[in-house]
Amino acid sequence: MGRVLRIGRVELKVLDLEKSVDYYTNIIGLEETGRMGDSVYLKAWDEFDHHSVILTKSNSPGLAHMAFKVETMDDLAYYEKKVEEFGCTTTRISNNTRLAEGEAVHFILPTGHHCELYHEIGFLGTAVGFRNPHPWPLGWKGIAPHRLDHILLTGNDLKTVTRFFVEALNFGQSEKVVTEGEEELLGSFLFTTNKAHDIAFVKGPDAKLHHAAFHVDSVHDVFKAADLLSMYNVPFDVTPTRHGISRGETIYFFDPSGNRNEAFANGYMSYADMPTITWDAAKIGTGIFYHARELSESFMKALT
């Protein structure tokens, strides 16, 4: 059986490329690692691969694609077959089609999102190195997250997309949100690492991005992020709070194109043999925002 290691990258569509690069480098605190055409490549200080975020100039914001890294090239072929057996059409993306990227397998999820699997990518290392490293680098900018953590997407058929990740890609489902009698799935949180989730879906229009999340250490870092965002007049969606789902501490805000970002801390560890935690639809407000216990209108409607 092959292994999907983790979420490896997101490609975000942005309206003003240079304004977006300034935001993601100076406010989020990512490092620019290269450019190709209308795309800029970035990584967080604690990531070792060439990039985890691609910003691509577009006429509309949103998610161009996301990709998951597999352990070996044999795993790439293994999952290509599994994806096809599930009923999704795959195509091969050639080596170096994008900067520093090896060959990839592309397919479209049941929710309409473009997704890829890959193994090979350029290696740059972390800002603190791998020998006698300091716990964090001097001179960092902005929020300075450790890594890209997860993404939340919207779609209409959450049962099928959940089944895809579980059956084709061997993910687990950590949590779910259901209607009475569990007739309808309104939220699905999926993992392939020990994080609370690596990707999640909530009921909504197909092919939309809800948010891309970056990992920070603690609730202190969430509040520090809030301070920085206020200093730079970045628009907030939700100020610091806690999730019931995942138990993480969080803050939500928007990039210059309207793509929602999250600074996310803590959360529980998930394991392959854990039971799925179930939330009733009537408690979704508490599940998302544990303190306020209700959803804001913008949180459900601001999608790109």
Please give the positions annotated as active site: 150, 197, 211, 243, 252, 262
Q: Give the sign of the dihedral formed by CA 163, CA 165, CA 166, CA 172.
A: negative
Assess contact for 265 and 215: CB atoms under 8 A. Answer: yes
SS (H, E, C) 50-73: CCCEEEEECCCCEEEEEEEEECCH
Query: How many whole angstroms separate alpha carbon 165 and alpha carbon 158?
Result: 11
Coil, helix or strand at residue 270 = coil
User: Position 115: which residue type?
Assistant: C
CA distances from 189 to 16, 19, 98, 294 (A): 32, 32, 29, 19
Q: CA 73 from chain center: how many Å?
A: 23
Residues contacting residue 31 through CB under 8 Å, at least 6 positions apart? 25, 42, 43, 44, 45, 127
Residues contacting residue 64 through CB under 8 Å, at least 6 positions apart? 11, 12, 13, 54, 56, 58, 114
Q: CA 89 from chain center: how many Å?
A: 23
Query: How many whole angstroms separate alpha carbon 214 and alpha carbon 117?
Result: 20
The DSSP element (H or E) to which 46 belongs, if any, is none
